[in-house]
Amino acid sequence: DGGITQSPKYLFRKEGQNVTLSCEQNLNHDAMYWYRQDPGQGLRLIYYSQIVNDFQKGDIAEGYSVSREKKESFPLTVTSAQKNPTAFYLCASSIISTGELFFGEGSRLTVL
């Protein structure tokens, strides 16, 4: 089955710790994205990548880092510099020409 796999689904972190969220896709999509969603809010773009070894900051990149070493993988690290990291994190991929995003199931991060 083609799709996007995010892990873990739920994650608890103590303040001051970095955590890495995994995102893997087997749709052969060139572009991958990370969004953050807070209760009652729309989606806010953290980082995106349209090609291997290249990525761009989105609207709220501070306190986050990414890498794109393989076409299939786009992990997101939430660093201790992110002041309010508790949120629902969504990874997505797309064919650049259509722009249609397909989402993984999400990772819910809670900072204790």
Partner 1 sequence: QKEVEQNSGPLSVPEGAIASLNCTYSDRGSQSFFWYRQYSGKSPELIMSIYSNGDKEDGRFTAQLNKASQYVSLLIRDSQPSDSATYLCAVRAGANSKLTFGKGITLSVRP
Q: Applying CB under 8 A, which of residues 3, 10, 18, 100 lies at the interface with partner 1?
A: 100
Q: Applying CB under 8 A, which of residues 15, 16, 54, 97 lies at the interface with partner 1?
A: 97
16 binds partner 1 (CB under 8 A): no
Q: Is 74:54 a contact under the CB 8 Å cutoff?
A: no
104 binds partner 1 (CB under 8 A): yes
Task: Choose between 16 and 42: whose C-beta lies nearer to partner 1.
Answer: 42
- By the 10 Å C-beta count (0-12 exposed, 13-18 middle, 19+ buried), 80 is classed as middle
Q: Applying CB under 8 A, which of residues 11, 27, 43, 61 lies at the interface with partner 1?
A: 43
Peptide bond into 8 cis (omega under 30): yes
Q: Is 66:34 a contact under the CB 8 Å cutoff?
A: yes
Name the residues that contact partner 1, by CB under 8 A: 33, 40-45, 48, 50, 58, 90, 96-106
